[in-house]
Amino acid sequence: MRSLVIAIGLLAFVAAAAEAKPRPKTHAPEKRAAKREKSRDKPKKRIAAVTRHTRARFEMPRGPIEGQSLGAPWAGRLREADELPTGSGYVIRRPWRAFGTQSTVDTVHRIIADIIDRFPDIHEIAIGDISAPTGGRISEHSSHQSGRDIDIGLIYKQRPPGFPQSFVVGTERNLDLEVTFVLVEEFAKTAKESDGVQVIFLDFEIQRLLYNWALENGETEEYLATLFQFPHGRGQSAGIVRHEPNHSDHIHVRFRCPPADSACR
């Protein structure tokens, strides 16, 4: 009997201890609902952040669009693009990337035709990429998106192997410095026009070769200072022709926004 009483007492003690043990906290229904809503909202915030980043690169203007070049050369599009026509004396390496604004195409065609007329004995000129038919990103370039950039091969004493299908690095031994200088100069002259050249990218070493040739052939230092960044240094804001890495085998010409292109940047 005594054992039974002790057992009953122990059971009562265990039950009381279990009752006294703090229970795990639970969220009220409102708090649980708010937590679920917050969790569902996270993907939306991520999507919104991506959308804002995309719009920062290129945003379609509101209202009527006037002009062909939309956005910036590194984040843009083309509308109703003009195509650089084929012709004698030059080779368009990738015709499906020969689209640009009318002013870009017209200026390039005029200058190339002039160079061919003035120097009929040179090899064919290599015309590189402008933009795709509707612009936007294309392989091998971070720019060339809005129809205002064009790559043009250098001019050599003799046509190098693989040219014009591939650009060839220029050196003092292989370059026709006279014709290459005239090619650069003719594009640079259009900087005075409202839709003319904005900047020309060319390796600093090639600039040096052209600068020295021109100086030896009657051009003044004052005039050459308006053309070349050389000899002021790669980081200096001098001249229309600026140093850019990977531009020792071609010139990269960038034109300003045509005045009528309201969405151009």
The pLDDT assigned to 157 comes to 97
This prediction has a pTM of 0.76
Residue 52 has pLDDT above 60, yes or no: no
Q: Cα dihedral sign for 138, 129, 197, 193?
A: negative
Q: What's the distance, CA 171 to chain centroid?
A: 27
* Ramachandran angles phi, psi of 50, nearest 5°: -65, -40
* Residue 80, token pair as written in the block: 């109703």
What pLDDT digit, counting tens, does each position of 160-194 carry?
Answer: 999 999 999 999 999 999 999 999 999 999 999 99
Contact between 97 and 136 under an 8 Å Cβ cutoff? The reply is: no
Average pLDDT over residues 19-30: 48
Contact between 200 and 256 under an 8 Å Cβ cutoff? The reply is: no
What pLDDT digit, counting tens, does each position of 204-234 carry?
Answer: 999 999 999 999 999 999 999 999 999 997 8
Domains of the chain, with CATH numbers? 69-255 (3.30.1380.10)
